[in-house]
Amino acid sequence: MRTNELFAKKTVFSFEVFPPKPDTPIETIYAALDELSQLHPDFISVTCGASGSGSGGNRTVEVASAIKHTYGCETAAHMPCIYLTEDDALRTLDELKKAGIENILALRGDETPGRERAHVFEHASDLVAFIKRNAPEFNVIGACYPEGHTEAQTMAADIRNLKTKVDAGASELISQLFFDNATFYRFLERCEIAGISVPIEAGIMPVTNKKQIERMVSLCGATLPVKFQRAIAKYGDNAEAMRDIGIAYAIDQIADLLANGVDGIHVYTMNNPYIAKKITEAVKNLL
C-alpha cells in the first residue's frame, strides 16, 4: 500500500528501525520486528545505515521485505543518494520492486569523510524527480527539517528547497526530530505559506540516555527546551530514570501534537520495542 493514501483516512502512526550492521546476523532484528509489528503501526520505515550507498547494499531491502511479507506491516525503505550513480539508483529501484516494496524515503544522505560523492544526485529532490521519471509506481516520501537543515543558509532557503522536493514528486514528508513543539508549529505555518500541502508527519525521538541526546543535538542541531535540559541535568546519570523521563517527554510531545491536529507521528524507535510499546499504549486512544 502507498503510505500517502493513509492520511485521508486517519492520523498516521509509524515507526522507524535500522538494519543490523553487516557483521551482525540479520536475525538479530527479527525479535524486535515481531514485537513492533504487534503494536500495529501504519508502517515501519527502514534506514540505510551509515554507508549512504543506497537501499540494496546494507540490508534495507531485506529488512523492509521481512516487515511487509513476514510481519504483515506496510514499510518504506530509505534511499540516500549522494554516492549513487544512475545505474546504482536503477538497480536499487529494481530490487525494491522485486521485493514488493512500494514506498521509498528519498534522502540526500550523510557524507562519509574521505569518500568521493558521485555528483549525480546532489540533492534529495534530484532523486525524487529521477524516481518519478523512471519508476512512477513508487510512492516517494521526503524528509523535512523543522529547525532547518544544518547546511541551509536560512530557514527561508530551506523551505524553498523543500518546495522543490515536493514539486518534484514527494507525496508526503517526515520531519527530523525536534523537542519543542512550538518550533514544529512555526514550521507548518511556513510550509502553508510556501504552498506545501502534502501531509507532514512529526518525527519524535524518545531520548533515553544522556549520550544519545548529546549526539542528536550535535548531529542535527535540535534545540533543547529548558524543561528538558533540567530533566537531563537531574536524571542524566540515572539510567532507568533517564529512560522513563525520555519516554514521558515523548508522550507529552505526541499528546500535544495530536491535540493540535498533526497529520501523523513517526517514532524513531532505535529498535527498542519496550520504548515503542510504552509510547503506543499511552497515545493509542488519541489517534
Beta strands at 139-144 and 103-107: parallel, antiparallel or unpaired:
parallel
Cell readout for 271 is 529498535
Q: What CA–CA distance (Å, rounded) separates 95 from 252?
A: 39
Distance of CA 190 to the CA centre of its chain: 20
Could you tell me how far CA 202 lies from the centroid of its own chain? 9
Q: Catalytic residue, from 5, 16, 35, 95: name it.
A: 16
Helix (H), strand (E) at residue 134:
helix 124-134
CA-closest candidate to residue 62, choices 23, 92, 85, 86? 92
Q: Is 137 a catalytic residue?
A: no
Beta-bridge partners for 204: 267
194 closest CA partner among 234, 162, 150 = 162
Residue 81: all three cell numbers together: 543518494
Q: 141 with 105: CB under 8 angstroms?
A: yes
Residue 45: name the closest of 173, 208, 222, 213 by CA: 173
H or E segment and range at residue 140: strand 139-144
Nearest-Å Rg of the Cα atoms of the chain is 18
Whole-angstrom distance, CA of residue 48 vs CA of residue 82: 13
Asked if residues 269 and 33 have their Cβ atoms less than 8 Å apart, the reply is: no
Question: Which residues are annotated as catalytic?
Answer: 16
